[in-house]
Amino acid sequence: MGLLTEWKKWAIRWMERNRGLIVVLFCLPASFVFDACLRLQKKLSRALESNDDHDRKVQRIQKQVAAWNKLPKEKRKPMCTARPNWLSLSLTFFQKNQCHKVPVSLYNILSLNKKEMTVRVEPMVTVAEITEYLVPKGYTLAVTLEIGDATLGGLAMGVGMTTHSHKAGLYQEGITAYDVVLGDGSLVRATATENEDLFRALPWSHGSLGFLVALELKLVKVKPYVKLNYVPVKGMADYCEMIRMVSGALDKDYPAPDYVEATIFSKQEAVIMTGEYTDCVTDDDKRKVNHITRWYKPWFYKHVESFLKKGKAQELIPLREYLLRHNRAIFWVVEDMIPFGNNPIFRFFFGWLLPPKPAFLKFTTTPGIRAMTFTKQVKII
């Protein structure tokens, strides 16, 4: 018994020291298969439905909420969506087994209004899906988060901002309408002029005010590429001042670029990036194109870091690749999982497996870790 315990301790220590190897040999292939199954399931679900089904799906949600209202008060558990914890990007695990779960399976893009420059979607549409739909048509959301698995409804109930936010504001400022099923089962539409109090209260509410069943988002007209300028800056005062200047914070009439981003690598070193929508028409333009999201390419923040030594530079990036530039390395999180993940050899042979899907990582979390996460959450509250 003692020998077995010692062996288990040794095995755990070995896995902790070599977790990058464990992630590569098990997590990445399993995550890839897991994600492929989820994608197939979603495609099959969409193939069996049409946009005309949206109203019927909403009516089913309303009926379930109405049925909950008919229960005796002592039997009414708090309501929540039936979406599994592991599908959420949140690090927390909520005890949904103690709630009345309502299925909210709403995954479709409903309509594109070119005249009003808006798109109407169901809340489970992801950032990756909406960019794939909009960019070839010459549009993108006014505020597009960089992580492909984030859902548009989840962002609407929380908060978000991007490198276009100096022009468009926070994510919720790009929402023109919400369709919400309230606690009494009624379906209401909230806009800046209709149910205005609800419209103002929904952001940051984290789904506590009702079930979001559709939303309309502002669009911006775009070009196929982003011309990205990299400017390395030394000195905290200098890079802070430059960020203020290029974003228009110092002068409201300053011709701010379409995108402003800064990656700070140390207290005294940063790279400021400014981007403008552009076409790729000349041979010189084509030579400047960098497909930054291809599996063998350096992680974006590592690519940016190289300009601390190279100096100023400019390149063209396909718009959709720019919008999802941080997805492959989940910003810089993957480096903690796979310390050697940016090695050129690793990228060439295994980079196509990245990133490990957050849904898979949460799905395979042990009950003990889930309980610890929930306990911490309760203590914080």
Sequence-ordered list of residues with C-beta below 8 angstroms from that of 228, at least 6 positions apart, any chain: 259, 273, 274, 275, 314, 315, 316, 317, 322
**What is the reported pLDDT for 379?**
36
pLDDT in tens, 220-272: 999 999 999 999 999 999 999 999 999 999 998 899 999 999 999 999 999 99
Q: Please check the confidence at residue 169 and state whether its pLDDT lies above 70.
A: yes
Q: Which tokens is 92 given?
A: 């927390």
**What is the reported pLDDT for 239?**
96
Region 44-70: what's the mean pLDDT? 85
DSSP state, residue 134:
H
pLDDT in tens, 336-361: 888 889 999 999 999 999 988 877 77
Identify the band that residue 381 occupies on the pLDDT scale cut at 50, 70 and 90. very low
Percent of all residues in the chain with a pLDDT value above 90, rounded to a whole number: 60
- From the list 296, 295, 291, the residue with the least C-alpha distance to 344 is 296
**What is the reported pLDDT for 2?**
63
Distances (CA, A) of 344 to 341, 347, 348: 8, 5, 6
Q: Please check the confidence at residue 117 and state whether its pLDDT lies above 60.
A: yes
Identify the band that residue 375 occupies on the pLDDT scale cut at 50, 70 and 90. very low
Region 65-82: what's the mean pLDDT? 89
The reported pTM is: 0.86
**For all residues of the chain together, what is the average pLDDT?**
88
Angle at 37 between CA 355 and CA 131, to 5 degrees: 55
Region 302-330: what's the mean pLDDT? 95
Region 188-215: what's the mean pLDDT? 95
CB 301 within 8 A of CB 331: yes
- Return the domain boundaries, the chain: 1-44+338-381, 102-221, 225-328
Identify the band that residue 333 occupies on the pLDDT scale cut at 50, 70 and 90. confident
Identify the band that residue 27 occupies on the pLDDT scale cut at 50, 70 and 90. confident
Distances (CA, A) of 320 to 109, 115, 226, 360: 18, 23, 9, 24
Identify the band that residue 31 occupies on the pLDDT scale cut at 50, 70 and 90. confident
Name the CA dihedral angle for 95, 99, 103, 109, rounded to a multiple of 10 degrees. -60
**What is the reported pLDDT for 93?**
66
Residue 113 β-bridge partners: 118
**What is the reported pLDDT for 109?**
94
Angle at 212 between CA 142 and CA 157, to 5 degrees: 55
Q: Please check the confidence at residue 366 and state whether its pLDDT lies above 60.
A: no
Higher pLDDT, 19 or 157: 157
Domain boundaries 102-221, corresponding CATH code: 3.30.465.10
Indicate the SS3 state at residue 233.
Answer: strand
Q: Please check the confidence at residue 371 and state whether its pLDDT lies above 70.
A: no
